[in-house]
A = this chain, B = another copy of it.
C-alpha cells in the first residue's frame, strides 16, 4: 500500500524555484505521497478508508510537510526519507484535527471549509479515522521498502519513529491537548500558555523539522531545534491572532471559537498588539538561530515568513 518515491514530480531543480513555486511543488508532492499511502476506498472497510482520505487529503497549507522538506534540503537528506517523514507527520496532524473537532473536544463542524469528519460521517467513524491515521503514520515510517529504497540505516529509522511517537504522545501533542482542555476558563500566565503550546502545537512542528534534518548533515541540530521551537510557538500566536481577526470563510474553520469558548489565548492574555509583537520576537529568534547555515537555510527563512504572513 505504501509507495514512496514521488520526489521527482517537480520539473525544476528545487533550489532554482522561487518560494511560491517551491511551496506548490512540495504541496503537490505531499498530496500525492499521502494519496499513495492511504488505503484506496475500494479496500475494506470502504467507509473508513473513504473517511480517512476525506480527512487526510483535505489539502491545507501542509506547513509541517514544508518544514520537513526544507530542513531536509538544507541538510542534504535523502528526499525519500524526507517524504516518508513528512507524510507520517501530516498523518499524525490529520488524526489530531479529526479528534480535536469531535463533540467531546472542540466540537467544530467546519474544517478547511468543509464539514469536519464527524459531521460528514459520524462520531464513531471519526474516532476510528483518527485512530487508524495514527497507526498509518507509524506504519509509513517503518516500511521495509523505505529503508531499502533510501539505503536508510535501520537505527536511524528507529530514532525517527521514536521522535515521532514522543512528539505525538502524552508528553507531546496529546499532552498539550489535555492541558488545553484543563485550562478552559482558568487564568494562565504567559509561561503556562507557552508551555501548553510547546506541547500542543510545538512538539509536532519541531518533530517535522528534526525528522527532515536528522538523516542528513545535522551537526548543528541544537540550532535547528531552536528554529523549530520558536517557529512552532510563532505559528500558535498567529493562530490566536487569526482567531480574532479573520472571518470564518477565510479561516475555513469557525472564527472566534477560542475566545468564545473561554480558552486562554495569546490575545486574551497579552492583548492583540502585544501578541503581534510577541509573534515578531519569536520569528526573529527563529531566523537568528539558523543564521549560521547561510544561504542553505533560505527555505526555512521563507517558511518562517510564510507562517507569519498567513491569513488562514
Contact = CB atoms under 8 A, between A and B. Distances in A.
A166 interface: yes
A280 interface: no
A169 interface: yes
A139 B169 contact: yes
A251 interface: no
A138 B138 contact: yes
A105 B135 CA distance: 19
Interface string A1-33: 100000000000000000000000000000000
B39 A171 contact: yes
Interface stretch (A108-116, A178-186, A220-228, A256-264): A178-186
B170 A39 contact: yes
Interface in A138-177: 138-139, 142-144, 147, 153-155, 157-159, 161-162, 164-166, 168-172, 174-175, 177
Given A52-B170, A158-B157, A170-B52, A102 B131 contact: no
Q: Give the secondary structure class of A's interface.
A: helix
B127 A170 contact: no
Contact of A170 (B48, B175, B178): B48
Copies of this chain: 2
A102 B157 CA distance: 34
B138 A45 contact: no
Interface stretch (A62-70, A117-125, A271-279, A301-309): A117-125
A153 B138 CA distance: 19
A135 B135 contact: no
Q: Which of A131, A143, A179 has the most CB of B within 10 A?
A: A131
A131 B132 contact: no
Given A122-B104, A124-B105, A154-B158, A174 B135 contact: yes
Contacts of A202: none
A39 to B, nearest CB: 6
A47 interface: yes
A45 B173 CA distance: 11
Interface of A: 1, 39, 43-45, 47-49, 52, 95, 99, 102, 104-105, 122-125, 127-128, 130-132, 134-136, 138-139, 142-144, 147, 153-155, 157-159, 161-162, 164-166, 168-172, 174-175, 177-179, 181-182
25 contacts: A1-B171, A39-B170, A39-B171, A45-B178, A48-B175, A49-B170, A99-B131, A104-B127, A131-B134, A132-B170, A135-B166, A135-B170, A135-B172, A136-B165, A136-B170, A138-B164, A142-B159, A142-B161, A142-B162, A142-B165, A143-B162, A144-B159, A144-B162, A147-B155, A158-B161
